[in-house]
Amino acid sequence: MDFVVSVLRNGSRIISRDTVPLAIWCIAHCKDNYEEALWKTVSALGDRDTTCAIVGSVVALNTGIEGIQSYWIKSTESVESSVFFVLIKVVKVSNDNITNAIGRLGILLKTFMIVCFCGCIYTNLSL
């Protein structure tokens, strides 16, 4: 994997040309095995959450839900407790108030992105 990372990079620069080639390589080499695809992607280090999201999404399209280990599925958060579901519930989109609702959702998403960005900066400074 070290050679692959030296040629394709691993997403540590957090730009698409540094992330996507590795993701495509992992997909091509593990398209029929969801777990192997994710472990191989993680072993490249770098921007693991992004590359695993790309690889996992594409490989899952190929394997179907049957290709994902049942214990992984059982250990994920429920849709009702996810951040985006909660944001949508807070906004309470209605047909007659859609513009106002979209504006409020935009503010909530911007706030969420700022919190994530600050978390990334803090993490990088801590290393």
Q: What are the residue ranges of helices labelled H in the chain?
A: 2-8, 16-30, 34-43, 48-63, 70-74, 83-91, 98-126
Q: Which pair of tokens denotes residue 59?
A: 């490989």
d(CA 45, CA 12): 8
Q: What is the total count of domains within the chain?
A: 1
Kindly report the number of other CB atoms within 10 A of residue 54's CB atom.
21
Residue 88 lies in a domain: yes
Q: Considering the domain boundaries, does residue 127 fall inside one? A: no
Looking at the domain assignment, is residue 62 inside a domain? yes
Domain-embedded: residue 49:
yes
| pLDDT per position as a tens digit, 55-72 | 988 998 888 888 888 888
Per the structure, the complete domain to which residue 32 belongs is given by 1-122
Residue listed under structure tokens 């698409």: 16
Q: Note the pLDDT of residue 21.
A: 85
| 91 assigned to some structural domain | yes
Residue 40 confidence (pLDDT): 92
Within-domain flag for 89: yes
CB 62 within 8 A of CB 31: yes
Low-confidence ranges of the chain (pLDDT < 50): 95-96, 122, 126-127
